[in-house]
Chain A
Amino acid sequence: MSVATISSDHVRRRRLTDRAMTWMCLAALLVAIAPLASVLGYVTLRGASSVTWDFFTHLPAPVGEPGGGMVNAIAGTLLVVALGSCIGIPIGILGGLYLSEVGGGRFGWWVRFTADVLNGIPSIVIGVFIYALIVVPTRHFSGFAGGVALGVMMIPLVIRTTEEMVRLVPASLREASYALGIPWWVTMLRITLRTATAGVLTGIMLAVARVLGETAPLLFTAFNNPYWSLRLDQPIATMTVQLYNYAIAPYDDWHRQAWAAALVLMTLTLVLNVAAKTAGRRRFANGR
């Protein structure tokens, strides 16, 4: 009899532990989501009251003058990200195609390994590298240097997603193409890569979303510029650097501009992320 009660106590204790741990894990989840909710809430509320038409059409106002906007920084961000994409996307896609279609062996291992390492290098270090590589020899900050820095950051992301996505293309498609006598390199470009387009685009969108929000690699490459300028050989304003400068300044007007910039940036990056991930997921669902 006593054995039975001991064991039922024991079972009860084990059940209680089980339930307690389940609640602890749920609590952890809530703790993880709380800051996200807070950030989204504050940026939306404070940003929405600060985003005006002027924000998209006017140049920054001098200190003390209310109003003004960030049209130069918006244009600058688009330009620098476009330049980064022109560098990062082709290199990433062709490198990824190599890894998936050719890259066995030691060399392929090294490429994968260094791509992962490059992905983990802090963005500020990439900024210092581009500073030493481009800004020092040309003797001034430039939009070009900023674009190259962002391009370098995009390469590892695009390379690894392209590799994975191209790998998913069924072998039968390639074999059908070979059977028709189409050379390997044409098959790669017109059959394999084209079939994987949706997946590769997903990777590109994620990479663009990531560099769109980057500040650190632009601080001393693209620098900043209070005026309207689209010249790539000159310092250029970007939304992230502008946001940073406004956020740490002591003026309320500038803080409002910072929240507005945060809302615009956050909307862009989240839309790109959601689009990329839903597209990627749908592709996977079809593949299975």
Chain B
Amino acid sequence: MPHDRAATPAAGGPPGGLSLAAAGLRSSRGADDTFRVVLGAFALLVIVLVFGIGFSLAMASGPSLQKFGLSFLWTSKWDPVHDTFGALPFIYGTLVTSALALLIGVPVSLGVAIYLAEMSARGSAVVLSFIIELLAAIPSVILGLWGIFVLIPWVRGSVEPALGRALGWTPLFSGPAYGIGMLAAGIILAIMVIPIISSVARDVMLAVPQDQREAMYALGATRWEMIRGAVLPYGRAGIIGAVILGLGRALGETMAVTMVIGNRPQIVASLFQPGYTIAAALANEFSEASSSLYLSALIEMALVLFVMSLLVNAAARRLVSRVTSSVIAP
């Protein structure tokens, strides 16, 4: 937790605390100060970057902000030919695919995290965690390639017909099976968020003190009762943080989604239908935006995505760092 660090200065500490070494070498004092300022400047650069991103996106989306105002967010007409832009279909697609990803990904991730933290032997847990983390390292464009040639045919041939037969009476699973569409995007996003959610949730569970577990066992609990009664409640904030961290990844994921979602700006109930997300629209349309209003509308969508991921990440870090103080890998 950052506050702890602030309270206890790092070992060694800045030269102010070391009058013994510094007193004899008054001349090096100036060099030390200069060096500290240089280091601080590089650290400051990070803050400047984040504010710079927000500022420059806001500036560049000016024309669109002026013309459409806030209604940009809830109008659904996206017509580059007539310079009319509304972001709703993209926001809808982003939220629906992310929600699907969490719906599929969270139960699996929690199962994985519980298995790795509580059920498997130490040695195999290390190896299995390593394998799960490798999944996070696969470039998203490669997952997209796999999505086009392996996942889509499977979704079209098996998943969607089966869902249609069982749940076809609901609007969510009605209509012809295209393969490409919201469902495929949700599945590929689930694959991408599972490594993140499960590894952060595992870290959170490992940070639960041992005496919590022993107390449950002392009451005669089985292992599952111990997990439900001690580990999950204790780590709840951190586990929610892990899920939100996964949400952040799903909201902004670009390449794999672009390659399987079908890229059609529409709002329809059926998950079998093609859709569009903000990130996919940026990837597809940015370099061919013909008018300056078109370009600034796209940049305004990037701004929306930026604000979303800012809020989501800030919330997640806060929740996770409450439980574990270690660095959370992306």
CA distance A262 to B225 in the complex (A): 45
Structural contact, A108 and B224, CB atoms closer than 8 A: no
B interface footprint on A100-118 (CB within 8 Å = 1, 0 otherwise): 1111111111111111111
- Interchain nearest-CB distance for B210 vs A (Å): 18
Decide yes or no: A122 and B111 within 8 Å by CB, A14-B222, A15-B222, A184-B18 being known contacts.
no
Our pick among A90, A102, A182, A265 for the contact of B40 (Cβ within 8 Å) is A102
Closest to B146 in A: A39
Residue A64 at the B interface, CB < 8 A? no
Contact between chains at B56 and A132 (CB < 8 Å) = yes
How many residue pairs bridge A and B at CB < 8 Å? 331
CB of A213 within 8 A of CB of B39, answer no
- Top 9 closest pairs, chain A to chain B, by CB: A122-B252, A28-B111, A213-B139, A171-B11, A120-B313, A183-B28, A185-B35, A174-B12, A98-B39
| Residues from chain A with Cβ under 8 Å of B111 in the complex | 24-25, 27-29, 31
Interface band, chain A: 35 or more
Interface of B is mostly: helix
Decide: B115 and A243 in contact? CB cutoff 8 A: no
Contact A25 B112 (CB under 8 A): yes
Residues of A within 8 A of B70 (CB): none
Cβ-defined contact, A29 with B42, below 8 A: no
- Please determine whether A266 and B46 come into contact, CB atoms closer than 8 angstroms: no
Beyond A38-B146, A132-B299, A223-B287, whether A28 also contacts B108 by CB under 8 A is: yes
The residue in chain A whose Cβ has the minimal distance to the Cβ of B39 is: A98
Cβ of B145: which chain A residues have Cβ within 8 Å of it?
43, 243, 247, 258-259, 262
Residue A214 is within 8 A (CB to CB) of chain B in the complex: yes
Q: Is the C-beta of A253 less than 8 angstroms from some C-beta in chain B?
A: no
- Binary flags per residue of A177-216, CB closer than 8 Å to B gives 1, else 0: 0110111111110001000000000000000011011111
Known: A124-B283, A223-B287, A247-B259. A118 touches B50 (CB 8 A): yes
Stretch touching chain B among A67-75, A157-165, A225-233: A157-165
Assembled-state Cα–Cα distance A252/B13 (Å): 61
Q: Which of B39, B47, B60, B128 has a CB less than 8 Å from the CB of A110?
A: B47
Chain B CB within 8 A of A82 CB: no
Tell me whether B286 is interfacial, beta carbon within 8 Å.
yes
Closest to B320 in A: A116
Instruction: Tell which of B75-83, B155-163, B169-177, B302-310 binds the partner.
Output: B302-310
Whether the Cβ atoms of A126 and B53 lie closer than 8 Å is yes
A99 within 8 A of B: yes
Would you call A32 an interface residue if the criterion is a C-beta within 8 Å of the partner chain's C-beta atoms?
Answer: yes
Q: A108-B2, A125-B252, A215-B140 are in contact. Are A120 and B32 (CB under 8 A)?
A: no
Contact indicator A102/B137 (Cβ below 8 Å): no
Shortest CB-to-CB span from A119 to chain B, Å, is 6
Distance to closest chain B CB from A263 (angstroms): 9
